[in-house]
A and B are shown apart, each in its own frame.
Chain A
Amino acid sequence: MRVQDHKIFKIVVKDAWSYTTGAILLAVLNIALFALSKIPWGVTTPFSYWGAWIGKTFGIHVEKWYYFAGPHKSALNMSFFTHQGSIMNLGIIVGALLAALAASQFKIKKIKSVSQVIAAISGGLLMGYGARIAFGCNIGALFSGLASSSLHGWIYMVFMFVGAWIGSKLLVKYFM
C-alpha cells in the first residue's frame, strides 16, 4: 500500500484540519512561543521592518520617521536573520510550502485578470496601513491581544468585522 493511501496520512496531511484542531494548536504554540521568547506571535510588524531595511539601503532616512524614531527604534539595528519575527514569517512560508507539497496540492496559480491584480494590491496596502495604525494585524493585535486579556484585542475584533463587511461589499461591487 502506498503511504498516500494510508488512513492516518489522509487525516493528517491530505484533508483540512477542523477549526477546533487548528484553534487548539495555535493556542498551544502561541503559549510555547511566549514562554520561550517573551514575545507573543505577530506577523505584520516584521513587514514594516523589512520595508525600513530596504529603504535604509537606498538612502531613505527612515530613522526620522516617528515610527522608527520612537517605538520601533531598535528595529534599525537588527537584520533579517537577527530578528525573531522575520524568521518566524519565513517559517510560516516554508511550513505552508512543505504542507502543500506533502499533500500534493502545490500549484502555481495563474493571474486571472487585471482587476484581480488591482484588488490584491489595493487590499494589501489597506490591510498593511490598517495593521500599522491598529498596532498589529489579526495575529499580533487580535489573537495575541485576546490571549493577553487586553481590551484592544476586543476593540480590534469589532472593527475587523466592520472592515471585512465594507471590504466584501467593495469586492462584490467592483471586482467580481
Chain B
Amino acid sequence: MAEYRLDCMGEACPVPLIKTQKKMADMKVGDVVVVEIDHSCAMKNVPEWARKEGHNVDIEETSEGEWEIYIEKTK
C-alpha cells in the first residue's frame, strides 16, 4: 500500500490528467496517489476520469486555489 505524490502545481490541462494516467498505470491495486494541483479545470477532469475508471477519489482544498486529489487504485 504505497502512497505517491504527484506535483502538478503550475501545470495546465491536459498535463495533470496525463501525468495522473501515467502514474496510475505503474501503480498496484490498493496504492494511493496524491495529485497536487492549482488549476481548477484539473480539479474537474482528473476526478472525473478516475471515477469513470472506477477508482476511489477524494478531493481536498488545501489552500486558496490549491487542491489535493486522492486516488486509490481499485483494479
Using a CB–CB distance below 8 Å, which chain A residues touch chain B? 16, 100, 104-107, 109-112, 116, 168, 171-172, 176
Contacts and interface: CB of A to CB of B under 8 A. Distances in A.
Contact of B15 (A105, A106, A107, A176): A176
Contacts of B64: 104-107
Contact of A168 (B9, B14, B65): B14
Contact of A116 (B10, B14, B38, B66): B10
A106 B63 CA distance: 10
Interface in B24-48: 38-40, 43-44
B10 A111 contact: yes
A106 B44 CA distance: 17
Interface of B: 9-11, 14-15, 18-19, 38-40, 43-44, 64-66
Nearest to B22: A176
10 contacts: A100-B40, A104-B64, A107-B64, A107-B65, A109-B38, A110-B9, A112-B11, A116-B10, A171-B14, A172-B18
A110 B39 CA distance: 12
Q: 9 closest A-B pairs (Cβ-Cβ)?
A: A107-B65, A112-B10, A105-B65, A104-B64, A109-B10, A110-B10, A16-B44, A107-B38, A109-B38
A16 B11 contact: no
Contacts of A168: 14
A109 B36 CA distance: 13
